[in-house]
Amino acid sequence: MTTLNRRHFLRSAVGLAATALAPAAQKRSATDWVELGNSGVKVTRLAFGTGTFGGRVQRELGQEEFTKLVRYAYDRGIRFFETAQNYAGMHEMLGKALKGLPRDSYRLMTKYRLKNTEDPKLVIDQFRKELNTDYFDILLLHCVRTADWTTQFAKLQDEFSEAKHRKIILAHGASCHGLLPLRAFPGHRWLDVALLRVNHKGTRMDNLQGDDRAPGVVEEPVQHIAKLHEQKVGVIGMKIMGEGAFQTPQERDASIRFVMKLGTVDAITIGYKNTQEIDEAIERMNRHLNS
């Protein structure tokens, strides 16, 4: 064997040995714990949403069936639950459904109605009573709609920051409805977390009219999401199923595939009405995260 061939053989052997010893790439899962940017909060990649049509779908289940569904999701590994003051009755229903589960075993996010006129401290305390919790992992300004929201709600942002200082909330942010407010998200340093609409068709997504019923767009929101992700803001995707508009398995699969392949959405929230929808979301996420 020539010296050249011997060297080539040795290098190949070493390479093969290293490949054999290298650990297999770890598969990613819908129920992995992931950190939301620089927020310091870790959540499961898939959340349990309670706001389908303002929570109507979940309310119509009744407390007993809703509790069963929450516990099923919890047992499947979904440990991130999100709700809002605007979803009438859902604070109380979710609080009852989670009662008895160790508080440090799940994450809780709620959203603050911007039309509140009461003292924010009192409102947040009321939230804590309704949801049977001492603190929230994430509290969001709910449904910002104006281009100047960062200044319009500056005082409320200060209140959230004070609550964070007192560890009543661990992270704060906003959810968005409209392209004009969305354009103010990148670069706004107060944001720890952003809850943003995203799917493959633009269904129930953002538009310049700020009208949730008008057709939305995909390209511009995706660009803003990428900027926020680069800024280390935690990005949570919503309206993945177009708020129930995607009726066929093919549409639902296409949407989850699209969002998972972006690589800029840390977690997603989906509202469910039965266990089959939970199983489907987990299966599809697992498949597309690793394809």
- Using one digit for the tens of pLDDT, what is the confidence trace for 105-164? 999 999 999 999 999 999 999 999 999 999 999 999 999 999 999 999 999 999 999 999
Question: Do the beta carbons of residue 218 and residue 205 sit within 8 Å?
Answer: yes
**Helix, strand or coil, per DSSP, at residue 62:** helix
Residue 255 domain-assigned? yes
Instruction: Tell me: pLDDT of 16 over 90.
Output: no
Q: Over the chain, what is the mean pLDDT? A: 92
Instruction: Tell me: pLDDT of 198 over 50.
Output: yes
Q: What is the mean pLDDT of residues 235-264?
A: 96
For residue 80, the cross-strand partners are 107
Residue 11 burial by CB count (10 A; 0-12/13-18/19+): exposed, middle or buried? exposed
Distance CA 286, CA 44 (A): 13
Residue 9 domain-assigned? no
Task: Give the H or E element holding residue 159.
Answer: helix 154-165
Residue 15 domain-assigned? no
Distance CA 162, CA 147 (A): 24
26 confidence band (pLDDT: 50, 70, 90): confident
Instruction: Tell me: pLDDT of 172 over 70.
Output: yes
Residue 276 domain-assigned? yes
Q: What is the mean pLDDT of residues 84-88?
A: 95
Which pLDDT belongs to residue 213?
80
Enumerate residues 6+ apart whose C-beta is below 8 A from 117: none
Question: Do the beta carbons of residue 70 and residue 100 sit within 8 Å?
Answer: no
List the beta strands (DSSP E) in 37-179.
42-44, 46-49, 80-82, 107-113, 136-144, 169-176
High-pLDDT (> 70) share of the chain, %: 91
Distance CA 152, CA 240 (A): 29
For residue 195, the cross-strand partners are 175, 236
Residue 19 domain-assigned? no
Residue 11 domain-assigned? no
Which pLDDT belongs to residue 24?
61
Q: What is the mean pLDDT of residues 50-57?
A: 93
Residue 3 domain-assigned? no
Residue 2 domain-assigned? no
Among the listed ranges 145-159, 202-216, 218-232, 257-271, which one has the minimum average pLDDT value? 202-216
Over its C-alpha atoms, the chain yields an Rg (Å, rounded) of 21
Query: How many domains is the chain built from?
Result: 1
Instruction: Tell me: pLDDT of 20 over 60.
Output: no
- Give the burial string for 109-132 (b: 16+ CB within 10 Å, else e): bbbbebeeeeebeeebeebbebbb
Output the DSSP codes for 196-261.
EE--SS-TT---TT--TTS---SHHHHHHHHHHHHTTBEEEEE-TTTTTT--SHHHHHHHHHHHHH
Q: What is the mean pLDDT of residues 92-116?
A: 97
Instruction: Tell me: pLDDT of 8 over 50.
Output: no
- Report the CATH number that the domain containing residue 266 is assigned in CATH: 3.20.20.100
**Helix, strand or coil, per DSSP, at residue 121:** helix
Which range marks the domain in which residue 165 is found?
A: 29-289
Which pLDDT belongs to residue 210?
82
